[in-house]
């Protein structure tokens, strides 16, 4: 590498202005050009105001398993015996207006069983996950604001009911940088595009675009799975790496000639060169990490088949290589949205159960479980009462449930969270949260806390005020932290 003339120290202001505001960029700048191997988290250099992490992190990575559409808490993780007793009877108290009409209470068609030492009940939808319950913390008192998919998906992902705020993964990479600059810091996996709402769920909004989630559409129906097709321009069809290297050598030579000639002391110019070298290495690293076929047969078997299995395994591989956050969506649209027939949870559950459990087990065997926080949930839960008035003729199968923002379950595992515990509770029918309510903002605050971030301090000045993931709310749930 050419020796560049000594430079004046870069003022913070200029650095931010030049390189895209945010101290994450500085840590990135200091990392560009590191070896292909996983580099340690870069310290934040020369930025006095940045004290991220605010305290010792319990977790370094987040994997968010998203059962988009709205998994039913009362048919999975929130057992309600009273629902059986009062099956067919009206729900006591008023039901606020819904998108659709709802009828009387409906028992869960699924049987529940106690698992593990903790004896927490999990339904037959999640038998494998049930086996892991001693590693999990079930928050049974989640609530959110709006019973529609779009606003609630946004709330769960960006902390606000309308598009235009940075997603949680963007905030995390903005605050913490990433550990491997050969890969994007925040990766979003879904077998098809789009999920409902789509890109605004992983957008960096007003944060610099570098913090945006990289969406990878891993289409399971495409039998010719090609990991090289996942990242745009990751592959060169015409030239091999050797030829490319000689091109890059020439480019380096010409760029340096220019810098010399202009006596340019501009970090921008230097950075593109280094970025080019990172890109060069990414060509081999990125397809490799997405190629789950490289895992052992035993591991592949552990996860089972299907896109969720592939997503979960890819997530483990990405985390292993230092990616900050991975989000795994079940499928496009709202696949858990079972208005007509809650029995369909069998199908979505079957696709998810084994991979979710496998992820816990696999991260343990890779020694990554303690530093990786797994979060699993939906944008909201479902009503304990049956939905009527929907379906194809204004009344079809009377066996489905409507959206329920008032009470649902999210579970966490690893990353410093206590295992084998439940936190909070809904009422006797699983309708509304009654004990230790946890708003989505509180969940976000807790996730940030586990990552070593005080959610009130991770801010970004935009449009004249400081924004943060939790808006003006959010309380860390200390009781679930080990």
Q: Least distance in Å: CB of 466 to other proteins?
A: 9
473 binds other proteins (CB under 8 A): no
In angstroms, rounded to a whole number, what is the distance separating the alpha carbons of residues 137 and 423? 7
In angstroms, rounded to a whole number, what is the distance separating the alpha carbons of residues 26 and 7? 16
338 binds other proteins (CB under 8 A): yes
Return the residue of 1, 2, 11, 84 that touches other proteins, per CB under 8 A.
11
What is the footprint of other proteins within residues 364-403 (CB under 8 A)?
389, 391-399
Q: Could you please report the per-residue DSSP string of 9-28?
A: PPPHHHHHHHH-SSHHHHHH
Q: Least distance in Å: CB of 138 to other proteins?
A: 25
463 binds other proteins (CB under 8 A): yes
9 binds other proteins (CB under 8 A): yes
Q: Least distance in Å: CB of 144 to other proteins?
A: 14
**Segment contacting other proteins by CB under 8 A, of 55-63, 130-138, 270-278, 434-442:** 270-278
Q: Least distance in Å: CB of 258 to other proteins?
A: 5
Half-sphere exposure of 302 (CA within 13 A, CB side): 20
DSSP letter (8 states) at residue 481: B
Phi, psi of 51 (to 5 degrees): -125, 50
Return the residue of 33, 116, 127, 200 that touches other proteins, per CB under 8 A.
200
Q: CA dist 213 to 81, 168, 170, 365, Å?
A: 41, 10, 7, 27
96 binds other proteins (CB under 8 A): yes
Q: Least distance in Å: CB of 412 to other proteins?
A: 27
> Looking at beta carbons only, is 141 or 390 nearer to other proteins?
390
Q: Least distance in Å: CB of 430 to other proteins?
A: 17
> Looking at beta carbons only, is 28 or 126 nearer to other proteins?
28
Q: Could you please report the per-residue DSSP string of 160-194?
A: SSSS-S--HHHHHHHHH--S-TTS-SEEEEESSSP
Q: CA dist 51 to 22, 210, 246, 455, 460, Å?
A: 13, 21, 42, 12, 14
> Looking at beta carbons only, is 206 or 225 nearer to other proteins?
206
What is the footprint of other proteins within residues 275-304 (CB under 8 A)?
275-276, 278-280, 282-283
210 binds other proteins (CB under 8 A): yes
In angstroms, rounded to a whole number, what is the distance separating the alpha carbons of residues 445 and 435? 19
127 binds other proteins (CB under 8 A): no
C-beta separation of 401 from 385 below 8 A: yes
Return the residue of 150, 179, 353, 427 that touches other proteins, per CB under 8 A.
150
306 binds other proteins (CB under 8 A): no
40 binds other proteins (CB under 8 A): no
In angstroms, rounded to a whole number, what is the distance separating the alpha carbons of residues 448 and 11? 29
220 binds other proteins (CB under 8 A): no
In angstroms, rounded to a whole number, what is the distance separating the alpha carbons of residues 15 and 11? 6
Residue 92: count other Cβ atoms within 10 Å of its Cβ.
Answer: 11
- Taken in order 241, 230, 366, 32, the sign of the CA dihedral is positive
C-beta separation of 10 from 198 below 8 A: no
**Segment contacting other proteins by CB under 8 A, of 292-300, 307-315, 446-454, 457-465:** 457-465
Return the residue of 266, 288, 305, 479 that touches other proteins, per CB under 8 A.
266
- Taken in order 157, 158, 162, 165, the sign of the CA dihedral is negative
What is the footprint of other proteins within residues 16-35 (CB under 8 A)?
17-21, 25
Return the residue of 45, 111, 162, 365 that touches other proteins, per CB under 8 A.
162
> Looking at beta carbons only, is 85 or 461 nearer to other proteins?
461
58 binds other proteins (CB under 8 A): no
Q: CA dist 185 to 80, 102, 292, 318, 324, Å?
A: 40, 43, 19, 9, 5
> Looking at beta carbons only, is 389 or 482 nearer to other proteins?
389
Return the residue of 104, 118, 148, 456 that touches other proteins, per CB under 8 A.
148
């Amino acid at each position: 590498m050419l020796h560049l003339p000594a430079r004046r120290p870069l003022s913070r202001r200029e650095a931010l202005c030049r390189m895209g505001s945010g101290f994450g960029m500085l840590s990135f700048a200091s990392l560009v050009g590191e070896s292909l191997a996983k580099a340690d988290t870069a310290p934040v250099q020369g930025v006095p105001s940045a004290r991220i992490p605010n305290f010792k992190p319990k977790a370094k990575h987040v994997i968010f398993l998203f059962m988009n559409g709205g998994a039913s808490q009362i048919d999975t993780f929130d057992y309600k015996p009273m629902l059986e007793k009062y099956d067919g009877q009206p729900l006591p108290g008023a039901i606020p207006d819904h998108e659709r009409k709802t009828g009387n209470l409906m028992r869960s068609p699924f049987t529940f069983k106690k698992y593990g030492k903790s004896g927490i009940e999990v339904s037959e939808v999640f038998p494998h996950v049930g086996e892991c319950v001693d590693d999990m913390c079930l928050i049974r008192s989640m609530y959110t604001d709006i019973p529609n998919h779009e606003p609630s998906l946004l709330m769960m992902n960006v902390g606000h009911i309308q598009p235009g705020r940075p997603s949680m993964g963007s905030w995390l990479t903005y605050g913490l940088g990433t550990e491997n600059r050969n890969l994007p810091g925040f990766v979003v996996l879904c077998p098809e595009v789009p999920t409902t709402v789509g890109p605004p769920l992983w957008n960096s909004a007003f944060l610099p675009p570098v913090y945006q989630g990289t969406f990878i559409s891993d289409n399971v129906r495409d039998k010719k799975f090609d990991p090289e097709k996942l990242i745009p321009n990751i592959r060169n069809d015409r030239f091999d790496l050797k030829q490319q290297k000689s091109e890059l050598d020439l480019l380096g030579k010409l760029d340096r000639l220019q810098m010399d000639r202009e006596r340019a002391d501009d970090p921008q110019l230097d950075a593109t060169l280094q970025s080019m070298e990172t890109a060069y290495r990414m060509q081999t690293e990125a397809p490799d990490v997405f190629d789950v076929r490289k895992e052992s047969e035993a591991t592949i078997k552990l996860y089972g088949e299907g896109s969720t299995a592939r997503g979960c395994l890819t997530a483990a591989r990405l985390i292993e290589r230092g990616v900050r956050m991975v989000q795994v969506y079940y499928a496009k649209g709202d696949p858990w949205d079972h208005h007509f027939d809650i029995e369909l949870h069998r199908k979505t559950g079957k696709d998810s159960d084994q991979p979710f459990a496998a992820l816990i087990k696999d991260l343990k065997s890779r020694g990554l479980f303690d530093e990786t926080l797994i979060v699993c949930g939906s944008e909201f839960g479902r009503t304990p009462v049956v939905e009527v008035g929907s379906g194809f003729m204004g009344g079809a199968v009377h066996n489905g449930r409507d959206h329920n923002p008032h009470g649902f379950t999210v579970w966490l595992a690893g990353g410093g969270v206590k295992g084998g515990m439940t936190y909070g509770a809904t009422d006797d029918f699983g309708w509304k949260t009654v004990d230790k309510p946890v708003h989505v903002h509180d969940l976000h605050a807790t996730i940030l806390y586990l990552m070593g971030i005080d959610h009130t301090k991770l801010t970004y000045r935009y449009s004249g005020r400081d924004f943060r993931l939790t808006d003006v709310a959010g309380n860390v749930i200390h009781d679930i932290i080990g």
